[in-house]
Structure 1
Amino acid sequence: MALPEHDVADLGLAQAGVRRVEWAERAMPALGRVRDRFAAERPLAGRRIAACMHVTAETANLLRALKAGGAEIALAASNPLSTQDDTAAALVAEYGISVFARAGMDPAAYDRNLATVLERRPHLLLDDGCDLVNIAHLERPELLEEAVAGCEQTTTGVIRLHRMSAEGALRLPMVAVNDTATKRMFDNRYGTGQSTLDGIMRATNAMLAGRTMVVAGFGYCGRGLAERARGMGARVVVTEVDPVKALDAVMQGYTVLPMEEAAPIGDVLVTVTGNRDVVRAEHLASLKDGAVLANSGHFDVEIDLPALEAMAVEVRREVRPQADEYVLGDGRRIVLLAEGRLVNLGAAEGHPAAVMDMSFSVQALTVAWLAENHAELEPGVLEVPRRIDTEVARLELEALGVRIDSLTEGQEEYLNSWRA
């Protein structure tokens, strides 16, 4: 069999990748049902898809479902540290999908791979952070001539899309997969919470019980992280700029402080905001000796890395895997995890497959909906149709063997009549 076009580290890793993908598949029953349906109905026949996503076993199972539906797919990595080279090899050699991703690639290779998948002149874009959409609009607009729609699955990416739409720059209807109830509740809250702690503990082997963790940002991701850190015995301090979210944190029993007061008492500080410069030079200057810095927001801009480099008199690279130690002039040591990139993917394996089962089932069904209905949609940021979110929740409950009640005719009538 001729292999699809690709740029991966080592095709010899393909069998290890297959084992990894099949292991993840066991925990993704809803997506498996979607794949079976797609194989029978072929809703994506003749559609070219360009994807910028984390190259993980869970992503591989999403792409397998899309290919079963008839799609031709080209995948580039959305983060240089999250690529699993064995998964990339398996996608090419075993599943016939074009992949352009290597673990640890430099920024130039990252940009080149995004351009490569766009040169396939895709009909549909699947983005994770809005880099693919951004480059297509700013640098290669001619490659959007055949594009009809797309999906974005991160908070950061949705924020960028809304700004593009507000300025009249967005040329495509883009669905904010991130904003569905299942995505926010399970992926952002439970997935990010667990996988972020997983990355911190793999990189440091630190005890969290009895230590102070500062969680910057109390959205769904920050909330999940705070819950799990408290469950492991950490004292959790929350920083926020949104009064409503800050009040929510207070009502849940967390200490809420501005970063200037939180930074000096934190043993572990984690940013999860989707914004830049959350931990700045003045905060870095007040950190205690041995403080650990991690980021679980999409881009590596939440911690002021140039300021940290400038303050350090010595940098000890990889004192542990994915842990760099910065020694300041007064002898204090600051430990940065995963180069300030997503710690849950840079130092661990990202969300559990069971969590991604729901997110990627929503993504797959949304792609099929876009392929069928794009002509009726206007450029802008759209919501996932409610029925898709509900269907995925139903599929997941069925896979778990959970049964729920249904409304009686009388209840339906009562809810739909103001005269009752």
Structure 2
Amino acid sequence: MNAIEKSVIHDISLAPSGRQKINWAKDHMPVLGRIRERVLVEKPLAGKRVAISLHLEAKTACMAELIRDAGAEVVITGSNPLSTQDDICAALVSEGVTVFARYNPTPEEYKSHFIMTLETKPDLIIDDGADLVTILHSERPDLLEQVKGGCEETTTGIKRLLSLEKSGQLKFPMIAVNDAFSKSLFDNRYGTGQSVWDGINRTTNLVVAGKTVVVIGYGWCGKGVAMRAKGLGARVIVVEIDAIKATEAHMEGFTVLPMKEAAKQGDFFVTVTGNSKVITKDHYEVMKDGAILANAGHFDIEIDKVSLEELSIQSEVVRKDITQYHLLDGRKINLLAEGRLVNLAAGDGHPAEIMDMTFALQVLSLLYLHQSNEKIGAHVIDVPYEIDEQVSRHFLESLGIQIDELTPEQTEYLGSWEI
């Protein structure tokens, strides 16, 4: 069967619209372009099948097609039910990529798409949130034998993988792409910072300047969200459990408060923790009328939706991607994108130039893993520094930016203990 016959998507006739989006993104992803020039000749993944679980939008499609150009058969599914773009799925299928995904599937359909992806028996995987890995190890161990390893995109996924490794149950190597410098410093900070506010602004169409924004979690993603909120003219409050990160937020000029106090002051709330129930009943009870809640963590568990529903006498969709909850005392609380990733469920995700670096890391890490999986063993490892540095170097070159190099004398000095 060809890709069209094997795939499960919404509508193949949407392919031309998806191709326009992919071509636009590809024109702004020069690092992937450099890698494509090499793999088109070498075909390093010839004869291999690669399964991908990521947000299915234009930038992801560029990476999927690059892996196909490297010789692999590519199978892809979405890592979030509201971030999948049906026209992108159609465009990929029309170019020979097998796709199991559609926008807003039922929970049962969403789970089945993961299973169908894994039942193609991939040799390598690219995961987002460790969903594929978790299903392989818990529900479908019969499919483990073929998999030689994979790469993980997110902080949440790496936490799950490290837990799996610590328990001694991880069966193949995984590369922690999220933790690479060229990912965490740029994608998590600048990408998340811009795309979260893009999602919030286009969804609410409200001014941010003069408002109070509460950022819950001050990791690299939280830093980006807080930085961009400040740039939009907001007063920013940071909520943290880590004293070092809280100190950094204070030094950056942000107010640091416990969540119970911040809940009384916020106009916008953005969760960026990777943890569950960081906004709960206690916080809803003291929030302002009209408060707006958004999540920028991987799963829709950071905002306690069950408690919000229990406190409400009515809920209604008042605008695309905004559900308004009416509380007994007359206050209204607005939840964006059902508490899912607001930058992708209610926006187009990170800018193309940012994802260019991240997906270049994914591709180069996948090629490294393909060559070295037996040597690595069943462990979670960092992206080799040479790959990390190569991606940033390619990015600078694409902008025409040059940097200095050490002279032989300087190299010798830095390698010696003598003055």
User: What is the distance in 1 between the residues matched to 2:417 and 2:40?
Assistant: 44
Q: Structure 1 residues 151, 299: CA separation in 2 closer, same or farther (over 3 Å shift)?
A: same
2:303 aligned partner: 303
2:321 aligned partner: 322
Does structure 1 residue 408 correspond to structure 2 residue 396? no
2:126 aligned partner: 126
3-state secondary structure, aligned to 2:36: helix
RMSD: 0.9
Does structure 1 residue 378 correspond to structure 2 residue 370? no
Does structure 1 residue 256 correspond to structure 2 residue 268? no
1:74 aligned partner: 75
User: Could you tell me how far 1:109 is from its partner in structure 2?
Assistant: 0.8
- Tell me the alpha carbon deviations over residues 131-154 of structure 1, each in whole angstroms, 9 at most, x when there is no partner: 110011000011010111110010
Q: What is the letter of the counterpart of residue 304 of structure 2?
A: D
User: Could you tell me how far 1:2 is from its partner in structure 2?
Assistant: 4.2
User: What is the distance in 1 between the residues matched to 2:414 and 2:361?
Assistant: 27
- Tell me the alpha carbon deviations over residues 77-114 of structure 1, each in whole angstroms, 9 at most, x when there is no partner: 10000011111000001x21001110111211111000
User: What is the distance in 1 between the residues matched to 2:17 and 2:307?
Assistant: 40
User: What is the distance in 2 between the residues matched to 1:57 and 1:28?
Assistant: 11
- Tell me the alpha carbon deviations over residues 154-184 of structure 1, each in whole angstroms, 9 at most, x when there is no partner: 0110111111111112111110000000101
User: What is the distance in 1 between the residues matched to 2:370 and 2:162?
Assistant: 22
Does structure 1 residue 362 correspond to structure 2 residue 361? yes
- Tell me the alpha carbon deviations over residues 256-315 of structure 1, each in whole angstroms, 9 at most, x when there is no partner: 000000001000001000000100110111111000000000000000010001111010
3-state secondary structure, aligned to 1:159: helix
User: What is the distance in 2 between the residues matched to 1:147 and 1:231?
Assistant: 45
2:416 aligned partner: 417
Give me the identity figure in percent.
50
3-state secondary structure, aligned to 2:3: coil
1:9 aligned partner: 10
3-state secondary structure, aligned to 1:241: coil
3-state secondary structure, aligned to 1:116: helix
1:111 aligned partner: 111
User: What is the distance in 2 between the residues matched to 1:214 and 1:100?
Assistant: 37
User: What is the distance in 2 between the residues matched to 1:275 and 1:371?
Assistant: 32
3-state secondary structure, aligned to 2:186: helix
Q: Kindly report structure 1 stretches of 4+ aligned residues shifted beyond 6 Å.
A: none
User: Could you tell me how far 1:19 is from its partner in structure 2?
Assistant: 0.5
3-state secondary structure, aligned to 1:264: coil
3-state secondary structure, aligned to 1:214: strand
1:23 aligned partner: 24
TM-score, normalised to structure 2's length? 0.99
1:217 aligned partner: 217
- Tell me the alpha carbon deviations over residues 215-256 of structure 1, each in whole angstroms, 9 at most, x when there is no partner: 000000000010010011000000000111001101111000
TM-score, normalised to structure 1's length? 0.98
Does structure 1 residue 141 correspond to structure 2 residue 174? no
Does the 8 Å CA contact 1:122/1:144 hold for their aligned counterparts? no
3-state secondary structure, aligned to 1:133: helix
3-state secondary structure, aligned to 1:350: coil
- Tell me the alpha carbon deviations over residues 44-97 of structure 1, each in whole angstroms, 9 at most, x when there is no partner: 11111111111010000101111111111110110000011111000001x210
2:89 aligned partner: 88
Q: What is the letter of the counterpart of residue 379 of structure 1?
A: A
User: What is the distance in 2 between the residues matched to 1:198 and 1:332?
Assistant: 26
User: How many matched pairs?
Assistant: 418
Does the 8 Å CA contact 1:239/1:259 hold for their aligned counterparts? yes
User: Could you tell me how far 1:3 is from its partner in structure 2?
Assistant: 3.5
Counterparts of 1:213-362 in structure 2 under 5 Å? 213-317=213-317, 319-362=318-361
Q: What is the letter of the counterpart of residue 309 of structure 1?
A: E
User: What is the distance in 2 between the residues matched to 1:242 and 1:171?
Assistant: 32
